[in-house]
Structure 1
């Protein structure tokens, strides 16, 4: 179930929502793909704006910690028969995001750290859809892989390449939908909008639990 398209689509909606949320509501910081934060970190260092540099560095470090935690969960619970380790990862995401919704704007830095941590856990825990490498918290890799599949389909005419192209495009489309939803909810609900990302995550938990049962 963790590699099925429906799960990838749900996680991509959550990923897009979270990126729009932190950018629009929590100080214009990207929580998912850290490339933007790293570029802005470099700009701040060049301009000797040390305080702003730290503001962009901390989410990057939180992302690193999230990857490490996801790998620890995998190593600790991979052989568990009671619960799948990915269910633990998603459950942790939900708990952290609910706590983020309660943080005031005076704690935006902590909110961004927490969301970056959650996104790292997610991208490390869910890395494939139908056996192909995917990302549910960023689009660049999916765009490259989807374009490659388009080229392979045009050359060979094999439907498997077309199917993968549709999957990559679908995941990116779901990310865009999530970002649009995050932008709208941020305007309506403010800092509480992050709680909406818990809905697709909870549906993902239910799908994985139903498969195990």
Structure 2
């Protein structure tokens, strides 16, 4: 009598590829989104009345300036941005609950697709109705909602040092974990890349706003988010 000595694990063949790993890693995706944030804030601050729609830390400070009567700042613009950002973050939180326990890849791509649509709509609006009543508020609302949605998603994804919109803690970590304090265990390369990505986006966005038109950096931002919606993976 003979017995089959084949190991069942060998018979099953090689493990199936992880669908979450297909595409561009989240680390790269979030760095590109940091560039996009720089573009968006360049548009909003330079072209929409000195208001931020991605960086809410700056917006709270701007609201204080406006409330104190400082020239060049608008309470109405800033409140609109804050409200729409919070609405977007709420939508992002609800989406996180819906995707809980499901594919991070699908979740990230869905959020990025919505962001691309919202920012793309703002680009079309800026091109079609420049200077019209309501255009400034529409662009603030669309971009702030998109950034709130994205920020809620990035927070839930939990990739360290890559919030895509705020660099205060990233810069703090870069200094506090540096060899100068006897540490050197920090994620220095990642943090430096995040800072450079924001600087690149802000520089490019400012140049396009100053020398061309608002709709161009908005279109660039929408296209970047749209491409990432197609290629993002679910892995860091």
Q: Normalization by structure 2: what TM-score? A: 0.75
| Secondary structure at 2:109 match in 1 | helix
Q: Which runs of 5+ in 2 are unaligned?
A: 1-20
Alpha-carbon shift at residue 179 of structure 1 (Å)? 0.8
Aligned length: 205
Higher-Rg structure is 2
- For structure 1, which segment, 179-188 or 58-67, has the greater mean C-alpha deviation from structure 2 after superposition? 179-188
Distance 2:210 2:63 in 1: 27
Which among 91, 107, 111 is matched to residue 69 of structure 1? 91
Distance 2:30 2:230 in 1: 14
Task: Verify: 1:185 aligned to 2:192, yes or no.
Answer: no
Aligned to 2:6: none
Counterparts of 1:176 and 1:7 in 2: how far apart (Å)? 16
**Distance apart, 1:32 and its partner CA:** 1.3
Q: Distance in 1 between matches of 2:158 and 2:99?
A: 23
Does 2:230 align with 1:206? yes
Is 1:45 matched up with 2:72? Answer: no
Per-residue deviation, residues 74-113 of structure 1 (Å, max 9, x unmatched): 1123345696112111100000011101223331112112
Does structure 1 residue 60 correspond to structure 2 residue 82?
yes
Q: Distance in 1 between matches of 2:120 and 2:202?
A: 18
Cα displacement string for residues 22-69 of structure 1 (whole angstroms, at most 9, x for unaligned residues): 1122222111112232223223333399x9322211101111111111
1:170 pairs with 2:193 = yes
* C-alpha RMSD of matched pairs (Å): 2.9
Q: Between Structure 1 and Structure 2, which shows a larger proportion of helix residues?
A: 1
CA gap of 1:184–1:132, structure 2 versus 1, over 3 A, is same
